[in-house]
Amino acid sequence: MSPRKIRVLIIDDSAVVRKMATDALSSDPAIEVVGTAVDPYAARDKIKELLPDVITLDIEMPRMDGLTFLEILMQRRPVPVIVMSSLSQRGSEHALEALRLGAFDVIGKPGGSYSFGDLGPELITKIKAAGGTILRALPPPVKLTPLTRKPAATSNPRTFDPRSIILLGASTGGTEALRTVITKLPANLPGIAIVQHIPAMFSRAFADRLHSLSALDVREAVDGEKLLPGTALVAPGNFHLLLQWQGDHYRVRVTNGPQIWHQRPAVDMLFKSATDCGAAPHAVAGVLTGMGKDGAEGLLKLREKGAVTFAQDEATSIVYGMPRAAWENKGAQRQIPLGHVADFIIRQFAPSTTTSPAVSHTT
């Protein structure tokens, strides 16, 4: 008996995009496009009738925009949604808002519809990941309130070994997971390097949003800049982020290079560069939610050289792929619920007797 196909409903007001998305997805024998809809109103009845496993959703549509529909859908009938967003500043902001509202993942939609075919393999990969996911009941979306000012530095600033560093990697579900972590961290921590699998045009908007919500100075990394305490640098989409030690400080390299695990940026590239430049004994490194295995090998190398390592636990991961790989290969010393990750990081630089819920590998 052949395995059941993943049932997909495509919602887009463009007939051309609906046709091209249908053709791209239908080329994979594991996927069945069970229907299309021109807007959320037409989709509403088709969802009830067709019971899709995954929905692809355009954001900018007439009568009801995709974000409004997504929020209603997640509250009333949760189903994994892949959002298709234009590669523009406005599109980037909408894509991040969609992730906050519960979208499974986003994909950048080129302005020219005839280049849509290039997205076929990526869309298929995301559909398959979403189709294999049991969507957990989501809490109400967190209302994002930008800070009116950056909190002043503590009157008793901490002193760190200049080689101290924090390394984080994530993929599907990671933008919200990283928001949860970064917004709980104080400014008086070592520098943080972040790799999030994200479309090229969305990474700056992602970094800007984290900056507006965090005590940290968060920004998209620029090749050659210093990674200073109180700063978090996010890998630009479609570029690897590497770490170098120069005299008495770290600098980042933003490079092109081949994809690793079909990803650029790749978490493994960051982690392995940190090991190569001697950062491991001074590093706290972790892998958060995401599909695939990126980061597991690099995290193991860091652990073997003395880093404190962790993975997000299964219960709080949108996709328990990357954290599972890092746990099973023993790259992660412990598994930590998302809500306790920030406290765990803070404690590595301010030891206390308090412990957070975690599952640990024996050492």
User: Does the residue 292 lie in any domain?
Assistant: yes
122 confidence band (pLDDT: 50, 70, 90): confident
Q: Compute the distance between CA of residue 192 and CA of residue 141 in angstroms, rounded to an integer.
A: 26
Q: Compute the distance between CA of residue 62 and CA of residue 69 in angstroms, rounded to an integer.
A: 12
Report the amino acid identity of residue 275. T
Q: Compute the distance between CA of residue 69 and CA of residue 350 in angstroms, rounded to an integer.
A: 44
Is residue 221 located within the same domain as residue 356?
yes
pLDDT tens, position by position, 140-150: 555 555 654 45
User: Does the residue 209 lie in any domain?
Assistant: yes
Is residue 116 located within the same domain as residue 257?
no
User: Does the residue 291 lie in any domain?
Assistant: yes
Contact between residue 31 and residue 5 where contact means Cβ atoms under 8 Å apart: yes
pLDDT tens, position by position, 133-188: 665 545 555 555 565 445 444 434 567 788 999 999 999 899 999 999 999 999 99
Report the amino acid identity of residue 94. H
Contact between residue 96 and residue 141 where contact means Cβ atoms under 8 Å apart: no
pLDDT of residue 124: 92
Is residue 84 located within the same domain as residue 37?
yes
Is residue 228 located within the same domain as residue 91?
no
Q: Which residue has the higher pLDDT, 325 or 106?
A: 325
User: Does the residue 140 lie in any domain?
Assistant: no
Is residue 198 located within the same domain as residue 58?
no
- Counting the structural domains of the chain, the total is 2
User: Does the residue 248 lie in any domain?
Assistant: yes
| Average pLDDT estimate for 84-95 | 79
CATH number of 171's domain: 3.40.50.180
Q: Compute the distance between CA of residue 77 and CA of residue 314 in angstroms, rounded to an integer.
A: 23
Contact between residue 300 and residue 183 where contact means Cβ atoms under 8 Å apart: no
| Average pLDDT estimate for 236-252 | 95
Contact between residue 95 and residue 51 where contact means Cβ atoms under 8 Å apart: no
Percent of the chain topping pLDDT 90: 66
Residues forming the active site: 171, 197, 294
User: Does the residue 289 lie in any domain?
Assistant: yes
Residue 27 belongs to domain spanning = 6-131
CATH number of 37's domain: 3.40.50.2300
* Cβ count within 10 A of residue 110: 13
| Average pLDDT estimate for 291-299 | 95
Is residue 94 located within the same domain as residue 178?
no
